Amino acid sequence: MEITASRKNLPKLFFSTLYISAFTFGGGFVIITFMKKKFVDELHWIDEEEMLDLTALAQSSPGAIAVNAAILVGWRVGGFPGMLTAVLGTIIPPMAILSLISFFYTAFATNLYVALVLKGMQAGVAAVILDVVCGLGGNVIKLHKPVYLVIMAAAFAATFFLKINVIYIIIAAAVMGIILEILNRKGGKRS
Amino acid sequence: MTIYLELFWSFLQVGMFSIGGGYAAMPLIQSQVVSRHEWLTMSEFTDLITIAEMTPGPIAVNSATFVGIRIAGFPGAVTATFGCILPSCLIVSLLAFIYYRYKKLSALQSVLASLRPAVVALIASAGLSILRTVAFGGEKMALENINWIGLFLFVAAFLLLRKLKWNPILVMSLCGVAGLLINLAVTAL
């Protein structure tokens, strides 16, 4: 088990998840990109391949992707207390913000300045995600295994152009992995 | 007391059956909150989705807080949110255990190695969808629909991140402020 139950990282884990959750607008992949920047690139608590595995798990489990990712990162960094810490850090900002907004929501939703700031932030979010994608995609290319490039291209076409449900894409990629493993074993026996 | 149980049970189902992120949760929330319990009208629900999209955090957690507060105050918000994340906590913890226990097996290694490029593609698609909204304002992809301010902000932000390795949250906040100022300046001219 690589789950490390060290308590000294808990405050840092709490404030990192709180900070990420408070600033990530948009869907689950946005928060995962920010978590990758923080926990992989900055703190080096998790390595890049592991982060991608955790993303696949978070995406294919029921519930909000952000919460699922927090649960996985939390277990990894601090065991059970780590999981609770990361989940709390992730849900406190939206709970606090929505509680405030629920009292004067029409004023907020129709405010021009709020809308303009949020629109500008969207451009920044797109940049952050695509910056991370450049790094991750580059690493897949560096593996020099055409089959992974084909999986990447096929998965992209399936989700971006064909709008196929991501669950099916993940299942298909997993099946592909099983087929590759079987082929590998057969090849191993023959040689 | 029953209202808390109802909130808990409704959002437990939302958390249990929404697979694949925010948009998958939306119809489930609607069926629980609007159709079954009539806690919100359809127009309030639409406002809720707008707000959920404009604020940080998962749509399910945002909805649980919003509905909980309106129905039973702050304790209602906590109850609904707890119900909404409880299935995740149990199922994902189990998966984490399996992952770290059996990660070294070659079959699982092979599955994970195939999943990784697919996940990169999913993230790329999510990013490009947002970029398309930014660059064309949700309109058709045509030259006359290009939002030059949004596109400029995107390119500037991308270069700051890629070349100068700036902090992503700082870059995003700067984009928000710059978006507001540039738009105000353009309207004033």
Cβ-in-10-Å burial (0-12, 13-18, 19+) of B140 comes to exposed
Token code pair at residue A99: 């509680």
Q: Is the pLDDT of residue B127 over 90?
A: no
Count of structural domains within chain A: 1
- Kindly calculate the radius of gyration of chain B based on its CA atoms and give it in whole angstroms: 21
The mean per-residue pLDDT over the stretch B17-44 comes to: 79
The residues with which A62 forms a beta bridge, in sequence order, are: B19
The mean per-residue pLDDT over the stretch A79-83 comes to: 94
**Cβ atoms of A58 and A28 closer than 8 Å:** yes
**Cβ atoms of B87 and B81 closer than 8 Å:** no
Chain B hits for A72, Cβ within 8 Å: 92, 95-96
Amino acid making up residue B62:
N
Q: Provide the residue range defining the domain that includes A74.
A: 10-107
In chain B, whose CA is at the least distance from the CA of A76?
A: B96
Q: What's the confidence (pLDDT) of residue A190?
A: 47
Tell me which residues of chain B, numbers 34 to 63, contact chain A at a CB-CB cutoff of 8 Å.
47, 50-62
**What is the DSSP code string of B67-105?**
HHHHHHHHHHHHHHHHHHHHHHHHHHHHHHHHHHHHTTS
**Which contiguous run of DSSP H or E holds residue A31?**
helix A28-35
- Compare CB distances from B16 to A62, A155, A165 and report the shortest one's residue: A62
In this structure, is residue A115 part of a structural domain? no
**Which contiguous run of DSSP H or E holds residue B180?**
helix B168-188
Please indicate whether residue B171 or residue B21 has the higher confidence score (pLDDT).
B171
Q: What's the confidence (pLDDT) of residue A69?
A: 94
Tell me which residues of chain A, numbers 68 to 127, contact chain B at a CB-CB cutoff of 8 Å.
68, 71-72, 75-76, 83, 87, 91, 93-95, 97-99, 101-102, 105-106, 108-109, 113-127
The mean per-residue pLDDT over the stretch A53-78 comes to: 91
* E runs forming strands in chain A: none
pLDDT band at residue A7 under the 50/70/90 scheme:
confident
Contact with chain B for residue A183, Cβ under 8 A: no
Mean of pLDDT over chain B: 87
- Category of A60 on φ-ψ map: left (φ > 0), alpha (ψ -120 to 50) or beta: alpha
Q: Is the pLDDT of residue A185 over 50?
A: yes
Under DSSP, the state recorded for B19 is: B
In this structure, is residue A68 part of a structural domain? yes
In this structure, is residue A25 part of a structural domain? yes
- Compare CB distances from B62 to A29, A98, A149 and report the shortest one's residue: A98
Q: What's the confidence (pLDDT) of residue A188?
A: 66
**Cβ atoms of B138 and B150 closer than 8 Å:** no
pLDDT digit string (tens) for A50-59?
A: 999 999 888 8
Chain centre distance of CA A98: 23
Chain B hits for A152, Cβ within 8 Å: 117-118, 120-121
In this structure, is residue A136 part of a structural domain? no
**Cβ atoms of B114 and B101 closer than 8 Å:** no
Give the sign of the dihedral formed by CA A50, CA A55, CA A58, CA A61: negative
Cα separation, A2 vs B4, whole angstroms: 38
- Compare CB distances from B130 to A125, A136, A148 and report the shortest one's residue: A125
Q: Is the pLDDT of residue A4 over 60?
A: no
pLDDT band at residue A66 under the 50/70/90 scheme:
very high
Q: Which of A8-12, A141-145, A167-171, B64-68 has the lowest mean pLDDT?
A: A167-171
- Compare CB distances from A63 to B88, B96, B128 and report the shortest one's residue: B88
Q: Which residues contact A54 (CB under 8 A, 6 or more apart)?
A: A46, A69, A72, A73, A76, B99
In this structure, is residue A26 part of a structural domain? yes
**Cβ atoms of B60 and B29 closer than 8 Å:** yes
The SS3 assignment for B146 reads coil
Interface test with B, best of A2, A121, A164, A165 (most B CBs within 10 A): A121
In this structure, is residue A147 part of a structural domain? no
In this structure, is residue A140 part of a structural domain? no
In 3D space, the residue among A33, A99, A100 whose CA is nearest the CA of residue A66 turns out to be A33
The mean per-residue pLDDT over the stretch B138-146 comes to: 79
pLDDT band at residue B106 under the 50/70/90 scheme:
confident
In 3D space, the residue among B129, B133, B128 whose CA is nearest the CA of residue B146 turns out to be B133
Q: Which residues contact B79 (CB under 8 A, 6 or more apart)?
A: B4, B7, B8, B68, B72
Cβ-in-10-Å burial (0-12, 13-18, 19+) of A57 comes to buried
Work out the minimum CA distance from A7 to partner chain B, whole angstroms. 19
Q: What's the confidence (pLDDT) of residue A186?
A: 84
Q: Is the pLDDT of residue A168 over 70?
A: yes
Q: Which residues contact A156 (CB under 8 A, 6 or more apart)?
A: B121, B124, B125
Q: What's the confidence (pLDDT) of residue B1?
A: 75
Chain B hits for A65, Cβ within 8 Å: 21-22, 58
CB–CB of B20 and A166 under 8 A?
yes
In 3D space, the residue among B138, B52, B81 whose CA is nearest the CA of residue A97 turns out to be B52
Integer CA distances (angstroms), B35 to B11, B32, B107, B187, in order = 14, 6, 45, 43
The mean per-residue pLDDT over the stretch A5-25 comes to: 86
Cα separation, B153 vs A70, whole angstroms: 30
Q: What's the confidence (pLDDT) of residue A159?
A: 87
pLDDT digit string (tens) for B38-61?
A: 998 887 887 787 777 778 888 889
In this structure, is residue A90 part of a structural domain? yes
